[in-house]
Structure 1
Amino acid sequence: MKGISLYSGAGGLDLGFLNAGFEIVWSNDFNVNACNTYSHNIGSHIRCGDIDNYTHELFSLKNIDIVIGGPPCQGFSVAGKMDPNDPRSKHVWKFADIIEIIKPSAFVMENVKALGTLSKWKPLRKSLLERFRNLGYSTSYVVLNATEFNVPQKRERVFFIGFKGNPQIIPDLEKMMMPYKKKAPTVREVLSILDKAGTGNNKGYCKAKITLTPKPVLRKSPFAGMLFNGMGRPINLDDYANTLPASMGGNKTPIIDEKELYENQTGWVQNYHAKLLAGSKPMEFQNAPNRLRRITVEEAKLLQTFPLDFEFLGSQSSQFSQIGNAVPPNLAESIGKMVLDCLISETLEKVIIKLPHQLEMEING
């Protein structure tokens, strides 16, 4: 089945749908480095620049089965100002406009969790659902946790998914995704295939310094709170990483303990945290021990479930940004398999809520 990708970035969503069995025949993104990465790894069918410059080419495509994409999310993210008038927020409507013209059999639109959960965006959610349903799509949205879909990262995102058909029925997306769940491996397991940072297959070393804060903010977990200056947090190797931000590359890059990773020693962060809880004074105005460092580009890539041979192009900061902005391919693949199975078997009506009052509750509740 043929697909179109919008706001493609480096291609995380596309890679997942390719692995699920779709053929992506056309894609677009505004970021030059991301487009170069996409072209290098996935294909030359990506068009770089403002999508409005390619509408004639885009709208000439026929027999498209699916449209996927992740419109810019900064306007909705709790990490930003969440300004309803942020021009980047308007791209969700551009996505809907393209659905209206292309008329695919299905669509998948990804965005930050806040768009699917915060009351601030309730009117927008209602309007989006109404728009898609008025276009003739059985539509709903679901917030998915990537750790449940073979991604070692606590990353939650909302997905608006629609199938052409009766707009008065609501896909039960949570139920539909259940068969495609797969527990993720731990950070330690995922990074075990890499050499030591700065060597071999793990050369993308991040040189951003790590300094201890003189005023720690303590939480029950040593991996929460704030023990260091900046927003980078230590990673629990035997659990999942927190969401990798697009702002990695400096002091927002997560921290890893080399001796814990390579030599199975007790983590320095855990020991320091325990001493602070016991009443010890913070270590003031000094760099963290050399055993602590920022994660590398390759480690970030694997935590986002890109294959090791997937090459990101551009400066190191751009590579980190492309990784942080991407949809984890393993999560995308699970969604792609679900959508493909529905389109092939035409079993959508077996997993939907048909009651009209449920529709009203979702729109107005």
Structure 2
Amino acid sequence: MRAVSLFSGAGGMDVGFKQAGFTVIAANEIDTHACQSFRANHTDTILYEGDIHQQMNKLACLTDIDVIFGGPPCQGFSVAGKMDVTDPRSQLIFSFADVIEQIRPRAFVMENVKALGHLEKFALLRKQLLARFTKSGYTVTLITLNAKDFGIPQSRERVFFIGLREAINPITSLSFRKHHASPPTLREIIAPLGKAGTLSNSKVCKAKITLATKPVLRQSPYAGMLFNGQGRPLNPDGWASTLPASMGGNRTPIIDEAHLFHDAKPWVEEYHCHLMKGGKPYSTDAAPKSLRRLTIDEAALLQGFPINYQFCGPQSKVFAQIGNAVPCQLAYVVADIVCHALVYPTVSQNDDYTRGQNMELQLA
């Protein structure tokens, strides 16, 4: 099946769609470094580099397209940002709709942060967007998926707008049940790379780790704010919180190598216990040397990129490309469901998928 990728970034979503059997014939991305990464890994896809509005004529010439997929910028909708509807980037969801109206694929998938699909603040925006899709002849499903429910070691909730033209049986939450899988631990994913700074794990983040003078405590030692900056510690025996695009500095998550590689008692847990019992915060420079930031290669693996995936640009730009990506395995899951719906349009999407837990679903 023929697909087109929009707001492609470094191509993480493309990896998943290709794994599901789609041929991505064309893509569009504006960021220079992301374009370099995309070209390095997707040599069989034509990349239209630049502002999507300036590439609209080229995109409109594409024909016989089965699916268009992509994730317009989310900064204007993210709870981690200003949640500003007037942010120019927030209007790019309508640019996505422009391409859909021009090409009229059999299906589309638009990904974004959970807030866009749920918050009352964006209700009017959602209504306007869905009205355009409906007017173009699509049955649209809004579904929120958490990456950790599909074998990905990261708690990362995202909303997907999935549209089918001439749909007989729309996609529902039951469609995703066959893909439900328990995630591996961080240890299982990143420990095989070896210690930070070694040949197989050389792309280290050197941002200094300092303790907060006024820690914010939560029940879990891996929540709250024990360190300066927003980089939280990760539990090697659990999964990661959402990896942000702002990694590369003091927002980069923290790993305890003594815990990861030598099964030492987790320093973070001991310090958290000390604070919870009323102990005074340690000095800002008291963090042990075994604590360090997540590396580029580790972050890429936690997003599901192939181990040999090539990233281009300075470290901050590479971290941004990784943090902005849709986890490849999650993209594969969605792509597989869409493929099934296109190949078997008269078969109920619920027939084959009868196991697993229900996902939150909102039908438009």
TM category, shorter: over 0.9
2:308 matches 1:299: no
One-letter amino acid matched to 1:128 = L
- Unaligned 5+ runs, structure 2: 352-361
CA displacement at 1:349 relative to structure 2: 4.5
One-letter amino acid matched to 1:344 = V
Q: 1:1-80 alignment to 2 at 5 Å? A: 1-43=1-43, 45-80=46-81
Q: Is the 8 A contact 2:205 2:293 kept in 1?
A: yes
Partner residue, 1:272: 271
One-letter amino acid matched to 2:301 = L
Q: Deviations over 1:37-58 (max 9, x none)?
A: 0100112511211122222221
Q: 1:151-170 alignment to 2 at 5 Å? A: 151-165=152-166
Q: 1:125-164 alignment to 2 at 5 Å? A: 125-164=126-165
Q: Is the 8 A contact 2:169 2:346 kept in 1?
A: no
Provide the C-alpha distance between the structure 2 equivalents of 1:156 and 1:126, rounded to a whole number of angstroms. 21
Partner residue, 1:357: none
Provide the C-alpha distance between the structure 2 equivalents of 1:153 and 1:13, rounded to a whole number of angstroms. 16
Of 21-30 and 128-137, the range deviating more from structure 2: 128-137
Q: 1:1-365 alignment to 2 at 5 Å? A: 1-43=1-43, 45-165=46-166, 171-347=170-346, 349-351=348-350
Provide the C-alpha distance between the structure 2 equivalents of 1:175 and 1:295, rounded to a whole number of angstroms. 35
Of 146-155 and 54-63, the range deviating more from structure 2: 54-63
> Compared with structure 1, are the counterparts of its residues 92 and 170 closer, same or farther at alpha carbon in structure 2 (3 Å cutoff)?
farther
Provide the C-alpha distance between the structure 2 equivalents of 1:101 and 1:187, rounded to a whole number of angstroms. 43
One-letter amino acid matched to 2:291 = L
With structure 1 as the length reference, what TM-score do the two structures score? Answer: 0.93
Give the match's secondary structure for 1:154: coil
CA displacement at 1:182 relative to structure 2: 2.1
Task: Count how many residue pairs are aligned between Structure 1 and Structure 2.
Answer: 353
Q: Deviations over 1:259-314 (max 9, x none)?
A: 00111111100011111112221102324110000000001001111111001110
Provide the C-alpha distance between the structure 2 equivalents of 1:339 and 1:47, rounded to a whole number of angstroms. 25
- Unaligned 5+ runs, structure 1: 353-360
> Compared with structure 1, are the counterparts of its residues 340 and 227 closer, same or farther at alpha carbon in structure 2 (3 Å cutoff)?
same
CA displacement at 1:347 relative to structure 2: 3.9
Provide the C-alpha distance between the structure 1 equivalents of 2:347 and 2:241, rounded to a whole number of angstroms. 34
Give the match's secondary structure for 1:53: coil
Q: Is the 8 A contact 1:297 1:320 kept in 2?
A: yes
Q: Deviations over 1:56-106 (max 9, x none)?
A: 221111111100010111111111111111110111111111111101010
Provide the C-alpha distance between the structure 2 equivalents of 1:348 and 1:213, rounded to a whole number of angstroms. 56
CA displacement at 1:170 relative to structure 2: 7.8
Q: Deviations over 1:8-32 (max 9, x none)?
A: 0001111100011100000010000
> Compared with structure 1, are the counterparts of its residues 350 and 240 closer, same or farther at alpha carbon in structure 2 (3 Å cutoff)?
closer
Give the match's secondary structure for 1:317: helix
CA displacement at 1:333 relative to structure 2: 0.3
Provide the C-alpha distance between the structure 1 equivalents of 2:178 and 2:164, rounded to a whole number of angstroms. 19
Q: Is the 8 A contact 1:151 1:305 kept in 2?
A: yes
Provide the C-alpha distance between the structure 2 equivalents of 1:21 and 1:362, rounded to a whole number of angstroms. 27
Provide the C-alpha distance between the structure 2 equivalents of 1:65 and 1:182, rounded to a whole number of angstroms. 28
Provide the C-alpha distance between the structure 2 equivalents of 1:219 and 1:307, rounded to a whole number of angstroms. 35
Q: Is the 8 A contact 2:171 2:349 kept in 1?
A: no
Provide the C-alpha distance between the structure 2 equivalents of 1:145 and 1:347, rounded to a whole number of angstroms. 28
Provide the C-alpha distance between the structure 2 equivalents of 1:261 and 1:347, rounded to a whole number of angstroms. 50
Q: Is the 8 A contact 1:4 1:26 kept in 2?
A: yes
Provide the C-alpha distance between the structure 1 equivalents of 2:221 and 2:284, rounded to a whole number of angstroms. 20
Identity value in percent: 51
Provide the C-alpha distance between the structure 2 equivalents of 1:325 and 1:170, rounded to a whole number of angstroms. 32
Provide the C-alpha distance between the structure 1 equivalents of 2:13 and 2:242, rounded to a whole number of angstroms. 16
Q: Is the 8 A contact 2:169 2:345 kept in 1?
A: no
